[in-house]
A and B are shown apart, each in its own frame.
Chain A
């Protein structure tokens, strides 16, 4: 249920190309909120596209929700188990009406027509778009569009949800809406995998994987990964501002008790100094 276990995953797009993934290991427990961090082109999206066999596994082993991704007989069950929301919401809609678009996945899995309206309404309600069935996706805000795309995936009740840079094209409000929806899903027991190059988005995660040039260079809790500037810099990323301040203060001779990840935690640490 919602687990991912991968060993030595290696993948190259062309025979002569350098591998995009080079011996990647990953282990995720059911119900975890996981962030896969790394700069553009480091292999994050390539990795997650193996989770529902959008890309065929070339080398290594990968089992998702107990299904071997190489098992072709299980391909469509695997795709239903792993829902995926992509970066650009405009490139995910197949219909000019939100309700019909959310129903698309259900129709692909031959859900009886009588059950579809109920499932569509429930999925829209889950993302805070109740009653949007008759609206055109193109007239929604960026955050609403992405939530509508998310509803299209949630209607299939996936055990694992992959957000492949789903916040990258959104403004801060839209980004907050999607992150709130991801947190809500985690509370309901869905395994959520967030692909991002925005370090701050990884802070609420249970587990952070850091990738660079096709390799997994670190894995651990946000406190273990995001508070080490050297690791993040190796991956081409900047540490969160409170972490930078913590280290700057330390260099200046002011030692805080813990390295804070958020502004609130930093304020608490500073108050303790008194």
Chain B
């Protein structure tokens, strides 16, 4: 298994690494909105340029920044094919039963694919340049107004951060169990679809059991280190957002506004 897992933080000193995590996360949400709002070629050119500049500023190797995109190519192919074959159009190029091939369908397929790819690159840049705990602190900070309606924001943040940090461990364990069961004749990648489906429950049961055992041991270890809920912990330093963070947010908001009002 790769030592570098998808979305795992890579330490660095680039502008994106140094940017305030709150600004990065809020900007990420604004950019997703901009990607979804984009509908014209001019709009796409602007959005793509903006996202490519962000990716370049992160100084991440291109193969890592686009790692999840390459891994999802089969999924993209299916999405594109479904749009091309089943998009209802008044000007079909070719029609047979419910299958309709049209320029509109091809454009729709390309449109959806491009949006997914852009959002994946954005999420890669966000998670690869932000330590998980900083990201969780940012989410906690942005959720903090919910405290006033009784939401235990600190505990929610802790649950999220523990879940994130357990992903590599559980993936490694899944790999181990899978290898052990393959050695005993289970078929996960070859054989008939039915055989592969039958091999899944024996894989999932030990994974779930192990996850519960690990959760139990972690809970004991956390208690032994004095954890008694979020409100008893050292308060997070509430530093004001730096000017660079506000500028980045302003640029993202401007891109959103341009997509709404100009394109």
Q: Assess whether B225 is interfacial by the CB under 8 Å rule.
A: yes
Which listed residue, A88, A92, A112, A156, touches B226 by the CB 8 Å rule?
A156
Q: Assess whether B221 is interfacial by the CB under 8 Å rule.
A: yes
Q: Contacts A54-B224, A108-B228: A100 and B217 contacting too (C-beta < 8 A)?
A: no
Which listed residue, A76, A88, A100, touches B131 by the CB 8 Å rule?
A100
Q: Assess whether B200 is interfacial by the CB under 8 Å rule.
A: no
Whether B132 contacts A95 by the Cβ 8 Å rule is yes
By beta carbon, the residue of chain B nearest A76 is: B226
Which of A117-163 touch B at CB < 8 Å?
134, 136, 138-139, 152-153, 156
Q: Assess whether A109 is interfacial by the CB under 8 Å rule.
A: yes
Chain B facing A: main interface SS? helix
A interface residue count range (under 10 / 10 to 19 / 20 to 34 / 35 or more): 35 or more
By beta carbon, the residue of chain A nearest B225 is: A105
Q: How far is the CB of A52 from chain B (nearest CB, A)?
A: 6
Residues on B with C-beta less than 8 A from A52 are 224
Q: Assess whether A216 is interfacial by the CB under 8 Å rule.
A: no
Q: Assess whether A80 is interfacial by the CB under 8 Å rule.
A: yes
Residues on B with C-beta less than 8 A from A134 are 11, 131
Chain A 29-65, CB-CB to B under 8 Å as 1, else 0, gives 0000000000000000000010010100000000000
In the bound complex, what is the Cα–Cα distance between A272 and B8 (angstroms)? 60
Which listed residue, A84, A90, A97, A113, touches B133 by the CB 8 Å rule?
A97
7 closest cross-chain pairs (CB), A and B: A108-B226, A91-B217, A105-B225, A107-B234, A92-B221, A96-B132, A84-B224
Q: Interface residues, chain B, CB within 8 Å of chain A?
A: 3, 8-9, 11, 131-133, 158, 161-162, 164-165, 168-169, 172, 214, 217-218, 220-228, 232-237
Q: Interface residues, chain A, CB within 8 Å of chain B?
A: 49, 52, 54, 76, 79-80, 83-84, 86, 88, 90-97, 100, 104-113, 116, 134, 136, 138-139, 152-153, 156
